[in-house]
Structure 1
Amino acid sequence: MKENQKTKYNTPALDKGLDIIEYLSKEGIPLSQVEIAQGINRTPSEIYRMLVCLEERGYLLRGVNAGKYRLSLKMYSLSHTHTPFDELKRVARYPMQTLSEVTKQSCHLSIMNNDQLLVISQERSPSAVSLSIEEGTHFPLSKTSSGITLLSVISEVDRNTILSRDMYYKNWKVKEKEVFIKEIEKVKKEGYRMAKSKLTSGITDLAIPIGANSDLIAVLAISVFTSSLKEEVDEDFLLKSLKTAQREINQFIVT
């Protein structure tokens, strides 16, 4: 195969359609035909028929006045019809409920999606005051304990590839990168990560990998108020409870 040859077969129409969908998803705002064409390095006439097709099929919606295109919820609907993570959410539900009840803390389950951390399930704390992380929320891998935990269980090659695209990591100095890699190696050795949140002050995260020996990798985490640790909440008890939930979930998904 030649060095510049990317695919075995050329599918220009499909490429244009996917380029449009991916660009609109990335931009997150309604765009005109001209703006979309400029964004994907094509001419407006090249993408006209594709825009019409995507609109007719329900993937795009067009404003009545400005005539700008935006993504519909069809992609979201299709992606939630059935995914490998549906079963993970199902088998994790009871262990997460138990974890929340015994620790009196909220917990959440996350996966890697487009080089980011995606929260796919959460169980709220039974306490009157608790932390909540909504399902469907994305976070940078390099800025979260769950993200660092995920990076600790994938291959070094995959990890380096992902980090090369991370908007934070690629702008760090060499020393910062070295410290970060050491953090990942520590999590890999210890099997969990407990650290103060880099995104929210006053919060400490405790994360542990799920399905590390399978093709279905996720992270289960608890986020607690830092001030309550040691005074109201015992770290060892949290970790013990988290490991129990990990074992219960893994027995259903590890292959």
Structure 2
Amino acid sequence: MTKTTSTKYNAPALDKGLDIIEYLSQEAVPLTQAEIAQGIDRTPSEIYRMLICLEERGYLIRGANAGKYRLSLKMYNLSHTHTPFDELKRVARYPMQNLSEATRQSCHLSIINNDQLLVIYQMRSPSPVSLSIEEGTHFSLSMTTSGRVLLAMLSEEKRLDILSRDKHYKTWNKKQKDKLLAIIDDIEQDGYRCSKSKLTSGVTDLAVPIGSKNANIIAVLAISIFSSSLEDSTNIDTLLNTLKKAQLEINKLIGA
């Protein structure tokens, strides 16, 4: 293994340990101490203590007979201790808090789960009266503003695949299906969606995408408000600008 990177601060022991882990991951077969040393351009004596340490810490497993080393599942388990969506919720907390305080409305963060919209985080409004959408609640993708924004973030193939299993979409005629697909196209162009809720009368939803199209992590940030509280288009513009500010902050934090 040729080492081409240079760092301002050297940590030789850490470098050796990471070289061993990365090389075993790359080779994907059990290897002897000598084979590992040759693979990372070191001598067997240089890596002896590191192999013992990694084995004792549970990162490596050594075969009883041939004495060959292989990676354990510890790295996998560590990487799955917190899901990407746990991290998304963590970084979204303060932008959502600022959004809620600025708009005096509750806001919520949702993802796709089992072909449905799943609310994973909510920031309650500081006002005494506001809408609340509980975390863990599932909704239809085709029937919700947030769901349609999420569908707009998918490739056409994946989008149609999900819709083919949607209980509402399956019962619609061609005109209704075409209308939904046209709305999704508009969302792709506009970058947001504002519409009256199809599930709750008297409610207007405003939603923006989080993440980037076809990325591993996609979500939607939304505000649901009583339609009667919307005085005019200026009010909507103000809400949208504040929502987009929170969107920008969250996307920056997740590297989107």
Is it true that 1:133 corresponds to 2:133 in the alignment? yes
SS for the counterpart of 2:164 is helix
Letter in 2 for 1:191: G
In structure 2, the CA distance between the partners of 1:211 and 1:232, relative to structure 1 (3 Å rule), is closer
Query: Once the two structures are superposed, what CA deviation does each residue of 1:144-182 show, in whole Å capped at 9, x if it has no partner?
Result: 000000000110000000000000001100011011100
SS for the counterpart of 1:198 is coil
SS for the counterpart of 1:165 is coil
Asked if the contact 1:216/1:253 (under 8 Å) is kept, the reply is no
1:26-41 matches, within 5 Å, as none
Letter in 2 for 1:166: D
In structure 2, the CA distance between the partners of 1:105 and 1:172, relative to structure 1 (3 Å rule), is same
Partner of 2:202: 202
Using the TM superposition, give the Cα deviation of residue 231 of structure 1 relative to its aligned residue in structure 2, in angstroms. Answer: 5.8
Partner of 2:250: 249
Using the TM superposition, give the Cα deviation of residue 253 of structure 1 relative to its aligned residue in structure 2, in angstroms. Answer: 1.2
Determine the C-alpha separation between the residues in 2 that align with 1:106 and 1:84: 23
Using the TM superposition, give the Cα deviation of residue 232 of structure 1 relative to its aligned residue in structure 2, in angstroms. Answer: 11
What TM-score do the two structures reach when normalised by structure 1? 0.67
1:35-114 matches, within 5 Å, as 82-114=82-114
Partner of 2:181: 181
Partner of 1:152: 152
Determine the C-alpha separation between the residues in 1 that align with 2:164 and 2:226: 32
Structure label with greater radius of gyration: 2
Determine the C-alpha separation between the residues in 2 that align with 1:196 and 1:245: 22
Query: Once the two structures are superposed, what CA deviation does each residue of 1:116-147 show, in whole Å capped at 9, x if it has no partner?
Result: 00000000000010000000000000010000
* Unmatched segments (≥5 aa) in structure 1: 1-79
Determine the C-alpha separation between the residues in 2 that align with 1:231 and 1:240: 15
In structure 2, the CA distance between the partners of 1:140 and 1:113, relative to structure 1 (3 Å rule), is same
Partner of 2:167: 167
Using the TM superposition, give the Cα deviation of residue 215 of structure 1 relative to its aligned residue in structure 2, in angstroms. Answer: 1.9
Using the TM superposition, give the Cα deviation of residue 81 of structure 1 relative to its aligned residue in structure 2, in angstroms. Answer: 5.4
In structure 2, the CA distance between the partners of 1:95 and 1:125, relative to structure 1 (3 Å rule), is same
Determine the C-alpha separation between the residues in 2 that align with 1:246 and 1:212: 11
* Unmatched segments (≥5 aa) in structure 2: 1-79
Letter in 1 for 2:216: D
Say which is worse superposed, 230-239 or 130-139, in terms of deviation. 230-239
SS for the counterpart of 1:223 is strand
Moved over 6 A (4+): none
Partner of 1:238: 239
SS for the counterpart of 2:161 is helix
Using the TM superposition, give the Cα deviation of residue 82 of structure 1 relative to its aligned residue in structure 2, in angstroms. Answer: 2.4
Letter in 1 for 2:240: L
What TM-score do the two structures reach when normalised by structure 2? 0.67
Asked if the contact 1:110/1:120 (under 8 Å) is kept, the reply is yes
Query: Once the two structures are superposed, what CA deviation does each residue of 1:61-81 show, in whole Å capped at 9, x if it has no partner?
Result: xxxxxxxxxxxxxxxxxxx95
Partner of 1:229: 230
Using the TM superposition, give the Cα deviation of residue 95 of structure 1 relative to its aligned residue in structure 2, in angstroms. Answer: 0.1
Letter in 1 for 2:120: I
